[in-house]
Amino acid sequence: MIDKYERNVIIVALLLSALFIFSLFYAMGARKADVTECLPYDKSYETARVNQIDKSTYQIFYVARMWSFEPAITYIPVGSEVDLFLTSQDVVHGFDIYNKNVNLMGVPGGVAKTTVRFDQPGVYKVVCHEFCGTGHQNMQAEIIVNYPKK
Protein backbone atom coordinates (compact mmCIF):
# COMPACT_ATOMS: atom_id res chain seq x y z
CA MET A 1 0.00 0.00 0.00
CA ILE A 2 2.77 2.41 0.86
CA ASP A 3 5.99 2.51 -1.10
CA LYS A 4 8.96 0.81 0.60
CA TYR A 5 11.11 3.95 0.67
CA GLU A 6 8.22 6.05 1.83
CA ARG A 7 7.66 3.67 4.74
CA ASN A 8 11.34 3.79 5.69
CA VAL A 9 11.25 7.54 5.60
CA ILE A 10 8.26 7.64 7.95
CA ILE A 11 10.16 5.34 10.33
CA VAL A 12 13.20 7.65 10.21
CA ALA A 13 10.94 10.64 10.91
CA LEU A 14 9.46 8.85 13.93
CA LEU A 15 12.91 7.88 15.25
CA LEU A 16 14.13 11.44 14.87
CA SER A 17 11.16 12.71 16.85
CA ALA A 18 11.83 10.07 19.50
CA LEU A 19 15.42 11.34 19.78
CA PHE A 20 14.19 14.90 20.30
CA ILE A 21 11.75 13.76 22.98
CA PHE A 22 14.46 11.78 24.75
CA SER A 23 16.70 14.89 24.81
CA LEU A 24 13.87 16.88 26.25
CA PHE A 25 13.37 14.50 29.17
CA TYR A 26 17.13 14.29 29.68
CA ALA A 27 17.30 18.11 30.01
CA MET A 28 14.46 18.06 32.54
CA GLY A 29 15.96 15.29 34.63
CA ALA A 30 19.73 15.70 34.51
CA ARG A 31 20.03 19.43 33.86
CA LYS A 32 17.00 20.50 35.90
CA ALA A 33 15.75 22.72 33.11
CA ASP A 34 12.07 23.32 33.76
CA VAL A 35 9.43 25.82 32.81
CA THR A 36 7.34 28.16 34.95
CA GLU A 37 5.52 26.53 37.84
CA CYS A 38 1.79 26.87 38.19
CA LEU A 39 0.86 28.64 41.43
CA PRO A 40 -2.63 29.78 42.43
CA TYR A 41 -2.82 33.55 42.73
CA ASP A 42 -2.66 35.35 46.06
CA LYS A 43 -2.74 39.10 46.69
CA SER A 44 0.49 38.92 48.76
CA TYR A 45 2.53 38.40 45.58
CA GLU A 46 1.76 41.98 44.65
CA THR A 47 4.13 43.29 47.33
CA ALA A 48 7.64 43.56 45.90
CA ARG A 49 10.28 42.28 48.34
CA VAL A 50 13.42 40.21 48.84
CA ASN A 51 13.43 37.48 51.52
CA GLN A 52 16.52 35.69 52.76
CA ILE A 53 15.63 32.13 53.75
CA ASP A 54 19.10 31.02 54.85
CA LYS A 55 22.74 31.80 54.04
CA SER A 56 22.48 31.02 50.37
CA THR A 57 18.75 30.84 49.65
CA TYR A 58 16.72 33.86 48.64
CA GLN A 59 13.26 34.69 47.42
CA ILE A 60 12.64 37.69 45.19
CA PHE A 61 9.05 38.81 44.64
CA TYR A 62 8.96 40.94 41.51
CA VAL A 63 6.04 43.18 40.63
CA ALA A 64 5.91 44.44 37.05
CA ARG A 65 4.01 47.56 36.08
CA MET A 66 4.09 50.03 33.18
CA TRP A 67 7.07 50.56 32.86
CA SER A 68 9.31 49.26 35.64
CA PHE A 69 10.11 46.20 37.72
CA GLU A 70 10.15 46.31 41.49
CA PRO A 71 12.62 45.70 43.11
CA ALA A 72 14.61 47.50 40.42
CA ILE A 73 18.00 46.56 41.89
CA THR A 74 18.69 43.50 44.03
CA TYR A 75 21.95 42.43 45.69
CA ILE A 76 22.60 38.71 45.99
CA PRO A 77 25.79 36.91 47.16
CA VAL A 78 27.64 34.62 44.78
CA GLY A 79 26.49 31.02 44.91
CA SER A 80 22.95 31.70 46.03
CA GLU A 81 19.89 29.89 44.90
CA VAL A 82 17.02 32.24 44.24
CA ASP A 83 13.30 31.56 43.92
CA LEU A 84 11.86 34.19 41.60
CA PHE A 85 8.19 35.08 41.74
CA LEU A 86 6.67 37.46 39.23
CA THR A 87 3.29 39.05 38.85
CA SER A 88 1.97 42.14 37.11
CA GLN A 89 -0.19 44.95 38.42
CA ASP A 90 -1.47 46.14 35.07
CA VAL A 91 -0.78 44.62 31.65
CA VAL A 92 1.26 41.61 30.47
CA HIS A 93 5.03 41.98 30.79
CA GLY A 94 8.01 39.81 30.00
CA PHE A 95 10.99 39.03 32.21
CA ASP A 96 14.25 37.82 30.72
CA ILE A 97 17.58 37.72 32.58
CA TYR A 98 20.52 38.23 30.26
CA ASN A 99 22.85 35.22 30.21
CA LYS A 100 20.61 33.17 32.54
CA ASN A 101 18.05 30.63 31.51
CA VAL A 102 15.23 32.62 33.08
CA ASN A 103 12.31 33.63 30.97
CA LEU A 104 8.96 34.45 32.54
CA MET A 105 5.73 36.19 31.70
CA GLY A 106 4.19 38.64 34.16
CA VAL A 107 0.44 38.34 33.85
CA PRO A 108 -2.11 40.22 35.99
CA GLY A 109 -3.86 37.71 38.21
CA GLY A 110 -1.15 35.06 37.76
CA VAL A 111 2.09 34.16 39.53
CA ALA A 112 5.08 32.86 37.58
CA LYS A 113 7.77 31.06 39.57
CA THR A 114 11.16 29.67 38.74
CA THR A 115 14.42 28.88 40.53
CA VAL A 116 17.85 30.07 39.46
CA ARG A 117 21.44 29.83 40.82
CA PHE A 118 23.95 32.65 40.54
CA ASP A 119 27.46 31.15 40.58
CA GLN A 120 29.27 33.97 38.78
CA PRO A 121 29.54 37.53 40.11
CA GLY A 122 28.30 40.31 37.88
CA VAL A 123 25.46 42.61 36.98
CA TYR A 124 22.60 40.63 35.48
CA LYS A 125 20.30 42.79 33.39
CA VAL A 126 16.62 42.00 33.20
CA VAL A 127 14.64 43.23 30.22
CA CYS A 128 10.91 43.27 29.56
CA HIS A 129 10.39 41.34 26.33
CA GLU A 130 6.65 41.51 25.96
CA PHE A 131 5.04 44.58 24.45
CA CYS A 132 3.46 46.54 27.32
CA GLY A 133 2.82 49.99 25.87
CA THR A 134 4.78 52.94 24.61
CA GLY A 135 7.36 52.83 27.42
CA HIS A 136 8.08 49.14 26.89
CA GLN A 137 11.68 49.66 25.77
CA ASN A 138 12.50 51.49 29.04
CA MET A 139 11.51 48.62 31.28
CA GLN A 140 14.42 46.88 32.98
CA ALA A 141 15.89 45.75 36.30
CA GLU A 142 19.26 44.59 37.62
CA ILE A 143 20.37 41.74 39.80
CA ILE A 144 23.81 42.51 41.21
CA VAL A 145 25.63 39.39 42.30
CA ASN A 146 28.30 40.15 44.93
CA TYR A 147 29.17 43.45 43.43
CA PRO A 148 29.71 45.83 45.04
CA LYS A 149 29.91 43.99 48.36
CA LYS A 150 26.85 44.97 50.33
Partner 1 sequence: MNVSRYLKNIILAELFVPVLLLTIGIYHGLMQVIYRAGVIHQASVAKLDYYQGLTLHGVINAIVLTTFFAVAFGHATIAFFLKQEPGRKASLLSLLLMVIGTLMAAAAMLSGKASVLYTFYPPLKAHPAFYIGTAMLIVGSWVAYWDWAVIYVRWKRGHREENTPLAVIGTLVNFTIWFVCTLAVAYEVLVLLVPWSLGWTAGVNVMLARTLFWFFGHALVYFWLLPAYIMFYTMLPKLAGGKLYSGTAGRIAFFLFLLFSIPIGVHHQFGEPSIGRGVKLTQSLLTFAVAIPSFITAFTIAASLEHAAWLRGGRGLYSWIWKLPFFRKDVFLFGYLINGLILFIFGGLTGLVNASYSLNNTVHNTSFIPGHFHLTVAGPVFLAILGMSIFLVSQLTGKKIYLPAINTIIPYLWTVGVLIFSAGLMWGGLMGEPRRTNMGLTYLNPASEQYHPYWVISSMLGLAGGGIMFAAGFLYFIVFFGTFFRKRSAASMIDFPVSESLHEEKRIPLFDTFRPWLVVMGFIIFMAYLPAISDALNNTGKKAPPYLPTDPTPIVTKKP
Interface with partner 1 (CB under 8 A): 1-3, 5-6, 9-10, 12-14, 16-17, 20-21, 23-24, 27-28, 31, 33-43, 65-67, 86-87, 90-92, 94, 96-99, 101-105, 107-113, 125, 127-138, 140
CA quadruple 30, 31, 36, 37: dihedral sign: positive
CB nearer Cu ion, residue 81 or residue 96: 96
CB nearer partner 1, residue 52 or residue 90: 90
Start-to-end CA span in the chain (Å): 73
Does 141 engage in binding with Cu ion (CB under 5 A)?
no
CB nearer partner 1, residue 38 or residue 54: 38
Contact 85/50 with Cβ under 8 angstroms?
A: no
Spatial separation of the C-alpha atoms in residues 100 and 81, rounded to whole Å? 13
